[in-house]
Amino acid sequence: MAGSGHAALALGMLAGATLDAALGDPPRWHPVAGFGALAGALERLTWRPARAAGAAHVGMLVLPTVLAAAGLDRVLRPHPLARAAYVAGLTWVVLGGEGLARHAGAVERAVREHDLPGARDGLGALCGREAGGLDAAALRRAVIESVAENTSDAAVGPLVWAVLAGPAGLVGYRAVNTLDAMIGHRSERYRRFGSAAARLDDVVNLLPARLTALLAVALAPTVGGSPARALATWRRDGRAHPSPNAGVCEASFAGALGLRLGGPTRYAYGMSDRPWLGGGADPRPGDVERAIALSRRIVRAATALAAATTWRWSR
């Protein structure tokens, strides 16, 4: 029975990833958006300028989510087809690889059409930086950095945790990552309250970020890049980034694409003095499309690896 359970998990991941690639995010009633609304409502009751309050807030949201997913999975384990359908549905709503690609493409189209105000507005769907005043090259840098980081956050991370912990890993990872996006900031409000979400997100992304970087290195030739340059840029520049995980993703993409990314970045809470990543030129027309292509190929490779690893365990 354990073997058929792992096979159902592998098939469910493949089916869910296929749905994400074909359809993108669910158009209405997205469960992740519902979780975010619940987290926002709970925050009105739990917020205090204290790390303990933030840790309690995270625990009250993540633990019930994980236990509910694990409980339903336990009920379905004797029924492989039902479990495969359950995992497929969860994988579809948790993965965001295709949505990421579409948002990035929309910003690039606005830049190409010289609609910089529209591109700046669209950047908000990808990242939380201040977009006012960004020129075409800076907008493209921001898009490619977001594609690099969110290839791990939106796709590789959920797949890794699905392999490690099944459906509970899928939804638990997405819950942590969503909370980090909501409160894991260095603003005055969240500097202490959001620290637990930020630190937990750092921990759960250690492996996914490095797998993303390894796949970017391996797949660099598919976008006209060099694996050696991608690896060298990752090793040289990744650790200088303030994030232990975003840095390795962004540096590996910079090297794979032969671009210069990073640099000082303005957020609502102030300026972040980030390092430059890579030694190439600023992004130009066509480079965002190359980053999207690399992201999609990394997601496909990660899906295949996750399914193959889980299937292997079933044997």
Q: How confident is the model at residue 1 (pLDDT cuts 50, 70, 90)?
A: very low
Query: If you average pLDDT over residues 148-168, what whole number do you get?
Result: 97
Contact 275, 254 (CB under 8 A): no
Q: Which of 79-93, 121-135, 204-218, 243-257 has the lowest mean pLDDT?
A: 121-135
CB atoms within 10 A of CB 25: 20
Helix H or strand E segment including 19: helix 2-23
**pLDDT tier at 29, thresholds 50, 70, 90:** confident
pLDDT at position 2 over 60:
no
Domain boundaries, the chain: 2-314
Give CA separation, 174 vs 88, 94, 186, 197, 246, in Å: 15, 6, 21, 12, 16
- The neighbour count for residue 271, using CB atoms within 10 Å, is 10
Model pTM?
0.94
pLDDT in tens, 183-207: 998 889 999 999 999 999 999 999 9
User: Using CB atoms within 10 A of its CB, is residue 37 exposed (0-12), middle (13-18) or buried (19+)?
Assistant: exposed
CA dist list (Å): 121 to 14, 64, 97, 115: 34, 35, 20, 10
The per-residue pLDDT for 263 is 85
